[in-house]
A and B are shown apart, each in its own frame.
Chain A
Amino acid sequence: MISEEKNQKIRVLYLDDEENNLRSFMAAFRREYDVHTANTSEKAFEIVKSVKPHVIFSDQRMPVTTGVEFFNAIRQIFPEPVRILVTGYTDVNDIIDAINKGHIHRYITKPWSEPEIKVAIDNAYDLYSTRKALDKKVEELEKSNHELSRFIYSASHDLRAPVASALGLMRVARHEVTDPTAIEYFDKLEYTTKELDTFVSNIIDYYKNSKQKEVMEELSFENIMDDVLEIVKSHLGSANTMIDTEIKQENKFKGDPYRVKIILSQLISNAVKFKKEDQESARISVRITADLDEARVEVEDNGVGILKEHMHKVFQIFFKSNDSRSGSGIGLYIVKEALDKMGGSIAVDSKPGDGTLFSIKIPNRL
């Protein structure tokens, strides 16, 4: 068997205080493997350092250190090589202990046979390269995870700023431009830019929910609602929407403010978006009751409602109804995910043409 690195032979080190054993080991395997031998643990250490073997065999019974002791020392500094102990039938308890603690991979009884050692080397190398490949994969995943985080961070900071500026410019233009054709274009531009803004916010919310650890804080639903309305209203711009809020919180409530805000702003934005075509303004009511057990949140609108056959799909990622306002289809998915992380639940009730009611429960973690 050939090592995968640059088509080199598998590197094997054998440590034994008896020169005869070393010589016969060398003679038996030198053609097939890159064999190194050492008669003291100091020499073995030097070889491990310079040669970086894939597999190390060590005799158990040696005058200064035992094989188990040697392996125990070497694995602290060089954990990668696969360690195999060569031993007689004595010292069984020591060996079992060493295997159980993971200090050695396996043992081979003396006197060893050539085929037995060959199989041991090849299996050990398999293990070595699988571990290596796994380490590499983990490293790659960590890197791409890190890059993804960086990307999302950039998206939230660098992408949202120009979008906000574009929306601001349109806001100014609305006051200064009088030409009806131009106004019509600005309306369309604003609509499209808001879609972009929502999508950027959704990506950020999705990321925050999936990556951020749960934060436990005492929550005031009044304050949370203020923040949420600030966000929702800046998305709305000039759209005509009435949002009634009713908050009853008599006890302390502990929960994750980030996720509660994500849930509320997603649901309210959703309700704003799906008003009926002929409706002048959307009417949304948000009712929150928080007690010692949980917070019950209801977000109700009088919009288009959800078709019965779509009801069970609305929380799926990338689900879109035929409605052109559906957007990216991640809003409600994020809501569901955030609730799952907090141990909460959501139910939906809707009549097409009448409106939709989302009922949420968030446990109080006080």
Chain B
Amino acid sequence: MKPNDVKLVMLVDDSYTDRFIHRKLLEIYSVGTEIIEYPGAREAIDYLMKVKDEGEDKMPDIILLDVLMPEMNGFDFLVSLQDAYEKFKKKPLIYMLSSTDDESDLKRARSIKMVKKLLRKPFSPETLIKALSEL
């Protein structure tokens, strides 16, 4: 997969600064033509459910998902999304992002089939592009 095959990217991160950084870097590296941002996992799931009901036109190609978020963290997001994700006709590629080198997070991310990879913050578009090219 090439960066310009990516249309819609969804950012789920509670940090305004990190969403800003990720949006900017995606634009600079021309990954995706449209970017939608959610500061919380709950709202992001609501969006995905709505899109599913409406025929998946606006289904993201990629989801960049922060691990540490208040209320509902990245892993909680995946747990609640799991059943619906199985039924998606178009399955978004999920990349998790974390600023800690927590081994247990890394292990957990590897054990979840939906997750392509856990990337380390600061987010590097090169790493994402490389990961996409390996698909």
* A interface residue numbers (CB < 8 A to B): 156-157, 160-161, 163-165, 167-169, 171-172, 175-176, 201, 204, 227, 230-231, 233-234, 237, 257-258
Answer whether residue B18 sits at the interface, using C-beta atoms and an 8 A cutoff: yes
A172 adjacent to B120 (CB under 8 Å): no
Which residues in A have their C-beta under 8 angstroms from that of B100? 156-157, 160-161
Answer whether residue B28 sits at the interface, using C-beta atoms and an 8 A cutoff: yes
Answer whether residue B80 sits at the interface, using C-beta atoms and an 8 A cutoff: no
Q: A161-B99, A164-B99, A171-B21 are in contact. Are A234 and B124 (CB under 8 A)?
A: yes
List which B40-93 residues lie within 8 A (CB) of chain A. 68
Interface of A is mostly: helix
* B interface residue numbers (CB < 8 A to A): 15, 17-18, 20-22, 24-25, 28, 68, 99-103, 106, 119-124, 127
- By Cβ-Cβ distance, the 9 closest A-B pairs, closest first, are A168-B122, A168-B21, A164-B121, A164-B99, A167-B122, A161-B99, A172-B24, A234-B120, A175-B28
Instruction: Pick from A157, A175, A176, A231: contact of B120, CB below 8 A.
Output: A231
The 24 sampled A-B contact pairs (Cβ below 8 Å) are: A156-B101, A156-B102, A160-B100, A161-B121, A163-B99, A164-B121, A164-B122, A165-B17, A165-B18, A165-B121, A168-B21, A168-B121, A168-B122, A169-B17, A169-B21, A171-B124, A172-B20, A172-B21, A175-B24, A175-B28, A230-B120, A233-B124, A233-B127, A257-B103
Which residues in A have their C-beta under 8 angstroms from that of B122? 164-165, 167-168, 171, 234, 237
CA distance A233 to B127 in the complex (A): 9
Which residue of chain B lies nearest to A171 when distances are taken between CB atoms in the complex?
Answer: B122
Which residues in B have their C-beta under 8 angstroms from that of A156? 100-102
CA distance A201 to B120 in the complex (A): 13
Supplied contacts A165-B18, A168-B25, 14 more A-B pairs, CB within 8 Å: A157-B100, A160-B99, A161-B121, A164-B122, A165-B17, A168-B18, A168-B22, A172-B20, A172-B21, A176-B28, A204-B101, A231-B101, A231-B120, A234-B120
CA distance A176 to B119 in the complex (A): 24
B15 adjacent to A161 (CB under 8 Å): yes
Number of A-B contacts (CB under 8 A): 66
Interchain nearest-CB distance for A194 vs B (Å): 11
CA distance A69 to B103 in the complex (A): 53
CA distance A164 to B67 in the complex (A): 14
Which residues in A have their C-beta under 8 angstroms from that of B124? 171, 233-234
Which residue of chain A lies nearest to B124 when distances are taken between CB atoms in the complex?
Answer: A234
Interchain nearest-CB distance for A101 vs B (Å): 44
Instruction: Pick from A163, A171, A227, A237: contact of B106, CB below 8 A.
Output: A227
Instruction: Pick from B24, B103, B127: contact of A258, CB below 8 A.
Output: B103
CA distance A293 to B51 in the complex (A): 55
Which residue of chain B lies nearest to A262 when distances are taken between CB atoms in the complex?
Answer: B101
Interchain nearest-CB distance for B82 vs A (Å): 25
Interchain nearest-CB distance for B54 vs A (Å): 33
Which residues in A have their C-beta under 8 angstroms from that of B15? 161, 165
Which residues in B have their C-beta under 8 angstroms from that of A163? 99
